[in-house]
Chains A and B, each alone.
Chain A
Amino acid sequence: MSRDKILQNIKMNNQGFNKTAYPVYHPIHRVQPSEYVETYGQFVKANRAKFIIVDHPDDIPGKVQDCFPNAKNVYSSLNGNLVPIDHDKIQEIDLAIIQGSYGVANNGATWVRDKDLFDRSIPFLCQYLTIVISADHLYADLYEAYQKIDPDDQSYGVFISGPSKTGDIEQALVIGAHGPLELLVVVVK
Chain B
Amino acid sequence: MSNDHATLGAAYLADEPRVDWHNKAVFNFRHLRDKVIHANMPEWEEMRSQASAIKQHTLEHLDDYLLQFEAKAKENGVTVHWASTAEEHNQIVYSLIQKAKATRVVKSKSMLTEECQLNPYLEARGVEIIDTDLGERIVQMLDQPPSHIVAPAIHLKKEEISDLFNKELGTEKNNADPTYLTRAARKHLREKFVSAQVGITGGNFLVADSGAVVVVTNEGNADLGCHIPPIQIHCVGIEKMIPRWQDLGLFVRMLAPSAMGLLITVYTSHYMKPKAGGEMHIVLVDNGRSDQLGSVHHRNSLKCIRCSACFNTCPVFRRTGGFSYHTVIGGPIGSILMPNKDINEYKDLPFASSLCGSCSDVCPVKIDIHNQLYKWRQEINAKTTASTSKKIMMSFASKALASNQGMSRINRLIRPMLKSLPRFMIYNRLNAWGKGREMPPVPIETFDQWYKNNRS
Contact = CB atoms under 8 A, between A and B. Distances in A.
A178 B224 contact: yes
B57 A178 contact: no
Interface in A137-161: 141-147, 149, 151-152, 154-161
Interface in A31-82: 43, 46-47
Contacts of B189: 178
B138 to A, nearest CB: 7
Contacts of B140: none
Interface residues of A, number: 73
Contacts of B57: 20-23
Contacts of B171: none
B117 interface: no
B439 interface: no
A170 B212 contact: no
A85 interface: no
Given A23-B54, A161-B265, A169 B223 contact: no
Contacts of B269: 156-158
B340 to A, nearest CB: 12
Nearest to B84: A2
A12 B293 CA distance: 9
A108 B40 CA distance: 13
Interface stretch (B60-68, B93-101, B443-451): B60-68
Contacts of A123: 223
Given A25-B50, A178-B186, A146 B290 contact: no
A115 to B, nearest CB: 11
B61 A19 contact: yes
Q: Which of A108, A124, A169 has the most chain B CB atoms closer than 10 A to its own CB? A: A169
A114 B223 CA distance: 12
Contacts of B207: 151
A143 B254 CA distance: 12
A167 to B, nearest CB: 7
Contacts of B426: none
A184 B245 CA distance: 28
Nearest to A158: B269
Contact of B50 (A23, A109, A179): A23
A145 B249 contact: yes
Contacts of B178: 169-170, 172, 174
B227 A119 contact: yes
A156 B215 CA distance: 12
Contacts of B193: 178
B336 to A, nearest CB: 17
Contact of B82 (A6, A155, A169): A6
A177 B182 contact: yes
B157 A18 contact: no
Contact of B264 (A12, A23, A107, A124): A107
B330 interface: no
Nearest to A145: B249
B224 A12 contact: no
A135 to B, nearest CB: 20
A49 B175 CA distance: 27
B266 A160 contact: yes
A170 B158 contact: yes
A158 B223 contact: yes
A179 B179 contact: no
Interface string B28-62: 10000000000010010000001001101101111
Contacts of B62: 10, 14
A35 to B, nearest CB: 15
B267 A179 contact: yes
B294 interface: yes
B76 interface: yes
Contacts of A106: 40
A170 B267 CA distance: 21
B93 to A, nearest CB: 14
Given A161-B264, A179-B224, A143 B250 contact: yes
A86 interface: no
Given A6-B238, A107-B263, A121-B228, A170 B25 contact: yes
B218 A164 contact: yes
Contacts of A172: 158, 178-179
A154 B299 CA distance: 35
B56 A174 contact: no
Nearest to A173: B178
Contacts of B284: 6
A30 to B, nearest CB: 8
Contacts of B134: 166, 168-169, 177
B328 interface: no
B274 interface: yes
Given A2-B84, A141-B249, A156-B272, A9 B220 contact: no
Contacts of B28: 171
A125 interface: yes
Nearest to B224: A124
A142 B290 contact: no
Interface of A: 1-3, 5-7, 9-14, 17-23, 25, 27-28, 43, 46-47, 91, 104, 106-109, 114, 119-121, 123-125, 141-147, 149, 151-152, 154-172, 174, 176-180
Given A141-B249, A147-B249, 9 more contacts: A6-B290, A14-B63, A43-B263, A124-B224, A151-B272, A160-B266, A166-B218, A171-B25, A178-B190
Interface of B: 25, 28, 40, 43, 50, 53-54, 56-57, 59-63, 66-67, 76, 82-84, 88, 132-135, 138, 151-154, 156-158, 161, 178-179, 181-183, 186, 189-190, 193-194, 207, 210-212, 218-221, 223-224, 226-228, 238, 243-246, 248-250, 252-253, 260, 263-275, 284, 286, 290-291, 293-294, 299
16 contacts: A2-B84, A9-B290, A13-B294, A14-B59, A47-B264, A119-B227, A143-B250, A151-B272, A154-B272, A155-B274, A155-B275, A156-B271, A165-B266, A177-B186, A177-B220, A179-B219
